[in-house]
Structure 1
């Protein structure tokens, strides 16, 4: 590409980014020591602190303005002046976004003047009494950056000279930036891993209770990014100088901008350019020697043991989902094993995602070492590992009770408040005792209902770009959710301390173990959340919220959960035969299912989905229907599973739910993807893909096939529309399918895959048609008008009773009746009940 054109596109793209820049509510930009404002190339205006707009922030102490008489031609305008303090002095800023994370940048650019050489200035800086810098000296231009939470209306930045004898010391600063960052820029959640020199454990403090100082911000595999390219005006530097073995890494790039809607990050988390470049393993000449890692060493202070490490990922190297598996190591410890970005980033390639770790360095260690390397889950020809960005922040100070608070209150005011508060509390306490005593005489003793929080419940929150889970929690009853809680020690015992030999599966949330609960000797599946999985918490709560308030024969039952010791564990009924997918393809040890049994499984799954959509006022939309989320018990009864992405359906006066796109690649409703408007018809589309999966016994997406065959839905629809669906049927069952049954089944799948949701059937309609296809296959019920059901035509159906709409499959909400067979007496049972509609 022509260099001028490339430069034009780069500038145009940067301007496009800036046009969508984050606008902070608190935004203070100060050009210190100047009476005039300075405008930077990123179009930000720094007000002079000697001007009318800036001087109001200077509140205490003795200070003077200093101007550089011999500025460098390339020196930024901000660095031509400075504010010099000869006594402790403060800048005070009024805070609108209270209890919000704020970013503070202090610019130090030492220059000489007639009376001062700023390189000799020694100073300490604190924010509302919390120390940020101590005995700090800048011999060259330095930018110091801090993140912290403020819960008061005023923030005071105190500059204190640390000087030589006779009070000759001075402090200074050239520019100050203070602004609020997005609400969930840092999230206090269970599951953040603490990496110790000897292993890994849960980090049990809140990230936002610390002041974080930026040490490194790295654009891995890419060039230096200036504030002009970042919506939070940050600088990202290349990673080349930190690579331990440069030949182990190879740069990967893409020209396609990232899709923030599907991942766990936003443009404020990191700019587009970070997620559009990466380092990957450099496998020379297709060598089969994959036993090496890519390693970076980042210098840190030997006296700073605790750091927050944020790693940025976006899979720009894979051509298909679930093909890239790799491990992350920090200081030689396995921090995250078997990372699958296509699962973490909601089943979409090139979707930004980040993971936070807290790292405790060994004593006197001045290096944080980060490595990525291939996982044992990777196929031999596809072993790779990537990294897109790194941020390392020193955890400056732990604030025991609250974020930064204002100081300088009068001692007498404090004492008076304490004494007055004591008497006030005493008075209130006595009044309450009297009231309770009186009430005790008037009414009988009654058990007080507990709130949901009594079960250790925490509110659902959004992570990065991921949307809020809107499933309302189930009614907790008089004793909260305690009936579902299982002690962690019981689960340890049941899984033999989470023995690897008991692992039966793994995914984005964590690892699944087979176990037997000693309390009632029932066989269960134990899904344990993975440390560092930031998406785990909302999925965990959504799963409990859905399964604790619904029960159906064709929905996997929740046995209980554990939320102790920062653990997130879900316990389900054990499904002996595993996922439907394993019985269709990908397993040489399992016998292919016959057609009749496949129909029964599809009918069962459709019943579960129909109940999910209609069993409550708003209904529930699953959002991740696929063959791996349809499980089979010991009798091959199908049950829909994995409700972590589920959402409540639209209200009566609404047509859809507006939300970020979630789902699995190959099953995702294209209309939902385009418009971000979710309806139950999105589940119908995904189920249509499953129907073709069942019929053809091949994956929804197979990148190893010819281009026209890669996407199952598109490929199967072509054959269906040509009336040649029998050409692509699984060879194992092709001779046993009756033409009439195949015709009805193909038409049903085709209608499910209609481009627009309004043209798709409801799950009730799908269920009716699948039962019809089953009857055509088994020929267990005589048709009216003498029409033979095996001649390829659609025989007439006995009309349903009055008051029951035709082709509408009402489902009994309490259908745990033990019935699973689709017999002639039951095949139309769904048509003769109004329950559960």
Structure 2
């Protein structure tokens, strides 16, 4: 018996060491490890932390002193990092050169001790990067490690330490290390309702919990990416309901599942399970509880590996986040990867937390003749930054530099405006749909090359590559050789990345003739795959319009999926509204951009034998050229409209949170009016210059469409417009614009205008803005929307005694002396039939 236990122990140790070695297979492009204040290099877990004197070259504003403790700290290897510290008496920055953009770890080590006149327990300070507030008013009373993950898109990363007033800051050790691209994908699923979520790529994340279920602590020197996984016992609510299992040698990494970089075998090889004690009637959940900060969304990553079953289709169970069931009847052996004991993970984004507790549970399935059991192998909980790029709840770091810090726009999050009964029906439908999608998930991640013209690959001429010849039948099916794409992007130079989306990275490129292009390179791990790739080519190859982004070509060689578009110098409309530091757009510019986008959508709806429905209209998919002319982009979700004798197309719900047509969501019936609804949200986004979903705001303000509609219906839309527009919008122009957006957001599609009508009204709003009324010079502030009263950000705070007539906008009919012919003189006829 003792021999067997010794064998199991030796095997476990060898397995951990084996996978620790495999961990070093990932070579981070950037790997800065600093033992702050230390006079010597320090080797911890096989990694060398450089001495403070060598790291001082990264300090752009070195202030303060180097301190060390007289205490002996020997409780663990990492504790050696706590013996010294760098103390900052003023704002100081570490600036690191980034050789390869993408997600990076930032790990900060703190341990308070007394050095000379500095009692580090009294330190109070902020820590921030260029775009994110990591820590605010931090005070450290015990050893502390804070871990963050940020997406770096520039060639440097600056970490700023800002002491609070009359205080100081300190740091014991610091890491800035590249993370694998596949570690955090752009997409996940939401909890309520269960739908697709995109935008994780741009989120800063803070690790809240990283737990090894049913096993011991996995220290950073035994993890694939130098992470620490703690045991789950302290988080279990009722420990007697759970038991532990270990079977590390059975773990398999297969295509479509997890990888050692996602989590090591020492995590997947142990689990906590229901302690059913052989009772086939057991009916309870095993639950873990974690402390979280209210007001934030959280990424919850479940790690599963069926190490307890002896055959396929033996284990079925349910998975919960708080009171919401996120997976029903989960069968790990066949439902996901069709292999027993295969490592797998699932990502979910929660609603904005309303309490300081988050619970995760597993429980038995309700299926007949299934033994009650459930397992969980590992769990990670990561906080997502709010709409200001903060992970602390504060808008910006309290530094003299904070005013220049960029705010980061909110990633569209969960919808909150669907009525409860409708939402329930939708969620039930999505559970069913989720089961089908997850069953196909592995298959969808396997990409194969194809040609859009039935197998014949076209090649482009010298414009695209050296030595290639043109063989084109028409403007469709343009194929560009992979070598030409490599040349255009400098072999996909990471410094040329201009965006990252659900499909993959977008690179700036330049063809041999000097033509600038945008190159979208698909990520094989993305859930957007072959279907979206084909749809994008098919749609853009048959449509040519000045307000649609032009497809220049595609490449499907070497198992790649690459799309090449015309380059749009000014990026997305969204980036010009908030979050990117661009100068504010004037009202005329915004109207012209909306008009251009409306023309593009109107052409899609009417310019072909059958309407084409975009399905993902949002400000991030409206691009601007060097003259700020708008062009609609991203047709991967587009769908051909209904036949002449049909009213709609029945299809699965796809789109982006905050923009999604609620009628389409609840009925799964798609029409052109779904695009109209989404465009109505864009109109309010343009007017208010804020995210369409902002969970950091008060409940009634979270959803922009709902919030703006309240003000619009009271005739007080002026109260919530972008402050940069105050005093610059004529009342009649605002009235027409608000009416147009309101009609677009009608509950039922039949009550919404066509895109042609929307286009006409927007052009009308522009003419009203430019019209000069006799007797009232155009620059007369009385004709503009001004600060009629202090801006009110909370609808509930409006004084009900204030008459809405005070804010009532004048009618077009009251433009005495205005020339109607002048008002209509510049109206452009709608394009398309």
TM-score w.r.t. length of structure 1: 0.49
Greater gyration radius:
1
